[in-house]
Structure 1
Amino acid sequence: MTTTPRGSGYPGYSETMYRTPETAEKARRLARLALRVWQMDDVEDGAALLVSELFTNAVCHARGECVRVIIDRPEADRVYLAVVDHAPDRLPELREAVPDDADGRGLALVEELADRWGCDLMGREHRPWGKRVWAEMKVTR
Structure 2
Amino acid sequence: MPAFSRDTLSPPSVARAARTPAPGHAVSFPASPRSVAAARRFAGRLLAEWGLHDLADDTALLLSELVTNAVVHGCGGTGDIELSLGRTPAHLLARVTDPGGRAPLCRQAAEDSENGRGMWLVEQLADGWGHHPSGTGTTVWFTLPLPGPR
Category of TM-score, reference length = shorter chain: 0.7 to 0.9
What corresponds to 1:112 in structure 2? 124
- Give, as a single letter, the amino acid of the residue that structure 1 aligns with 2:94: L
Counterpart for residue 140 of structure 2 = 133
Moved over 6 A (4+): none
Q: Secondary structure at the match of 2:106?
A: coil
Per-residue CA deviations over 1:18-67 (Å, capped at 9, x if unaligned) read 11111100100111112111101111111111111110111110123211
Match of 1:72 among 80, 86, 93: 86
Q: 1:81 corresponds to which residue?
A: 94
Q: For structure 1, which runs of at least 5 residues remain unmatched after alignment?
A: 1-6
As a proportion of its length, which structure holds more helix?
Answer: 2
The structure showing larger relative contact order (alpha-carbon pairs under 8 Å, at least 6 residues apart) is: 2
- Local SS of the residue matching 1:81: strand
Instruction: Please report the TM-score for the alignment, with normalisation by the length of structure 2.
Output: 0.79
Structure (1/2) with the larger strand percentage: 1
Identity, % of aligned positions: 35
TM-score, normalised to structure 1's length? 0.84
The range that moved more, 59-68 or 108-117, is 59-68
CA contact (8 A) 1:18 1:67 kept: yes
> Structure 2 unaligned runs (5+)?
1-20
1:2-17 equivalent positions in 2, closer than 5 A: 12-17=24-29
